[in-house]
Structure formats: C-alpha cells, structure tokens
C-alpha cells in the first residue's frame, strides 16, 4: 500500500512546510485527484479514487499538490509569473475567474476550446507543479513509460507563450474589475458621490429611477423598494475602491409612454469613467438577470448622437428596429432590441 503520509511528511520537512493531509475530498472536488486549500493549509488527496492506480501515479498527484502548497505559502521562492498566475482560474470553455480576497470573480472569454484547453493545462503554476511532480516521482520510482505518459497527459501539445498568459490575465482583470450590486444603505456615500458627478448635467443621470430628484440616498432606497415589483436597480461598483462607475435599471414590463420609449433598460456611466467600455460591459453583465426574470428580449433606446451608448447596445447584439421621438428631450432616438433566447 502506498504510504502517502510518509512521503508527505518527508516533502514537508525538506521544504519547510507545515501542512495537513486529508483524504476526504471537499464538496465539489469529489472527482478530482487532489487539491490544496491554502486557507486550511491542507493537501487533499482522493485516496479512494486513486486506489487502483499505480504507485507512481499516486506519488505524482501528491507531489503536484505539495508544490501548489509551496507556491501559495512561500511565493517568494517562485518567479513573478507563477506568483501572478495563482490568482487566475482558466477553464476549457473560456469561463475564467480571478481570486479577489476570499472570493472569485468570474467572466467569459472568447477563443475556442482548443485554445483554452492549452491555456488551462499550461498555466505557469500548473506547469511548475507538473515539472516538480515528475522530477520527484522519477527520483523515487525511476524512469518509466507510464510516468512519461502521465506527464504528457497534463502537458499541452502547444504551450502558450508567457506573453499570451499576460494578455489573458489582463483580459480577466478588465472583465472582473466591476460588479453588479443592488443598492443598499452601505453604499450611501458612493450613491451621493455618483449623483454629485452629474451636478452639471442632471438630465443625463439615466438608469437610476428617481435618484436625481431624491433628497438623499435613504429616500431613493425607499422609493426603489416601493417600485421593486416592476423595476430592478443595480450599481456597477469597482472592486478595487468600491466606487460606483455606473448605474443600470431594468423595467420588467415597460407600459407607460415614458417607459415605452425608454425601453426595458436604462443606464449611465460616471462622466469621468466614460470611453472605457464600461457601458458595454455593464450591459453585458445585466442581460443574464433580464433573462432570469423571464424576458426573451429587451428594448433599449439611444439617439444617434450618443455614440457611446449606441456602441454599447450594438456590441451586445442590439438590432435597430426604428426611430421615435423622445417626449422628454424632443430628439429622435433609435429603438434597439437584444434577443435573449
């Protein structure tokens, strides 16, 4: 029987690591060969799942997770790109995550399964862990065709260059820099700051029903509570400093004339944050919510002179239906539909 504990203790001693070893895989990882939880300082190994595997394979997965432990707990031992890569999760389907504190912010990137399979397998910290596991296992069991094949299985045929990982990480950073949150009293200061940013142009504070007219955030929050049956409000908050970069509101069933020409969705971006693609991303992030409340398609309106808004709408699949006159601003606006099916 393979003595996991003996090899675990020896490796920890050699590398100055104080860790726990557990054979009960955490929920959600039942089918994984192993994993490391830096918060618990625990290496998990799926002993039951690896029961019928050869000893060199059991050793490979043990050393792989021990290397991850060293990466997380002793980052100064590793090159900058390996340290950086620990913040990111890249999956085969392009769904990616960035670790922010104890949470993970997700996004979806484009590029196809072949590309993301290579990126997943070749992540710098994974490559380092695989190399270490191979070297340690070979030292214990010697060279073998089985070990070579195991190593090859976890190695991409065409590894991505470091520069490609830097570009992907930058994309993930951009797409996870902001989050949609429901307005609460905890954001009162930020709400006041956002409203003040439109002091010179209050008519353009769209996507925040009643905020321009409210006396203070508390009154606005009460008004939103009263209208929640047919209206949902979101703030678009920057994670780094919790400032509000934009606001976006969803009318569930536009009925009144003022709502009909305004459509299902209204939004605005803080003047200092415009021309950064925030409106496009904010609209993209809110569309899944629209679908979740039963909308098959959503209507948005924008005048041709508002090129930023038109670009945000069309970038999210908006198709121009026709033009109508805005009863509030007395200008021609385009009616755009986004299909959510």
How many DSSP H helices and E strands does the chain contain? 12, 13
pLDDT recorded at residue 262: 74
By the 8 A CB rule, do 252 and 231 touch? yes
pLDDT recorded at residue 258: 54
Sheet containing strand 88-90, edge to edge, reads: 88-90, 95-100, 103-108
By the 8 A CB rule, do 276 and 316 touch? no
If DSSP codes are grouped into helix, strand and coil, which group holds residue 114? Answer: helix
pTM: predicted TM-score of the whole model, two decimal places: 0.73
pLDDT recorded at residue 261: 66
Nearest to 285 by CA among 105, 142, 144: 105
Largest CA distance in the chain: 81
pLDDT per position as a tens digit, 34-67: 999 999 999 999 999 999 999 999 999 999 999 9
Report the alpha-carbon distance of residue 185 to residue 255 in Å, rounded. 29
What is the bridge-based pairing of β-strands 42-45 and 20-22?
A: parallel
Report the alpha-carbon distance of residue 67 to residue 135 in Å, rounded. 12
pLDDT per position as a tens digit, 189-198: 999 999 999 9
Report the alpha-carbon distance of residue 117 to residue 92 in Å, rounded. 5
pLDDT recorded at residue 268: 95
By the 8 A CB rule, do 272 and 260 touch? no
pLDDT recorded at residue 324: 84
Report the alpha-carbon distance of residue 266 to residue 249 in Å, rounded. 5
Query: For residue 195, what are the contacts with CB-CB under 8 A and spacing of at least 6?
Result: 205, 211, 212
- Give the domains, in start order, of the chain with CATH numbers: 4-175 (no CATH), 178-339 (3.40.630.30)
pLDDT recorded at residue 257: 55
Low-confidence ranges of the chain (pLDDT < 50): none
């Amino acid at each position: 029987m393979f003595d996991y504990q003996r090899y675990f203790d020896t490796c920890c001693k050699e590398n100055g690591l104080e860790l726990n070893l557990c054979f009960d895989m955490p929920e959600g990882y039942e089918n994984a060969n192993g994993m490391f939880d830096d918060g618990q300082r625990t290496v998990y190994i799926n002993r039951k799942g690896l029961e019928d595997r050869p000893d060199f394979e059991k050793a490979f997965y043990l050393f792989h997770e021990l290397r991850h432990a060293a990466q997380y707990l002793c980052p100064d031992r590793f090159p900058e790109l390996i340290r950086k890569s620990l913040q990111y999760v890249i999956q085969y389907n392009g769904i990616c995550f960035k670790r922010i504190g104890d949470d993970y912010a997700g996004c979806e990137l484009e590029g196809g399964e072949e590309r993301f399979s290579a990126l997943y397998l070749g992540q710098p910290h994974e490559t380092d862990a695989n190399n270490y596991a191979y070297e340690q296992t070979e030292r214990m069991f010697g060279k073998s065709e089985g070990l070579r094949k195991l190593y090859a299985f976890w190695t991409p045929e065409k590894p991505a260059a470091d520069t490609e990982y830097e570009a992907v990480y930058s994309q993930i950073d951009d797409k996870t820099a902001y989050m949609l949150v429901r307005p609460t009293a905890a954001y009162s200061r930020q709400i006041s700051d956002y409203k003040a940013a439109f002091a010179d142009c209050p008519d353009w504070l769209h996507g925040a029903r009643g905020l321009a007219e409210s006396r203070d955030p508390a009154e606005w929050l009460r008004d939103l509570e009263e209208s929640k049956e047919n209206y949902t409000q979101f703030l678009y908050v920057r994670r780094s400093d919790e400032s509000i970069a934009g606001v976006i509101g969803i009318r569930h069933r536009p009925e009144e004339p003022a709502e009909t020409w305004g459509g299902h969705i209204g939004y605005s971006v803080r003047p200092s944050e415009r021309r950064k693609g925030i409106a496009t991303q904010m609209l993209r992030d809110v569309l899944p919510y629209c679908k979740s409340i039963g909308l098959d398609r959503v209507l948005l309106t924008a005048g041709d002179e508002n090129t930023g808004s038109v670009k945000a709408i069309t970038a999210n699949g908006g198709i121009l239906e026709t033009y109508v006159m805005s009863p509030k601003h007395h200008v021609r606006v385009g009616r755009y539909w986004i299909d959510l099916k």
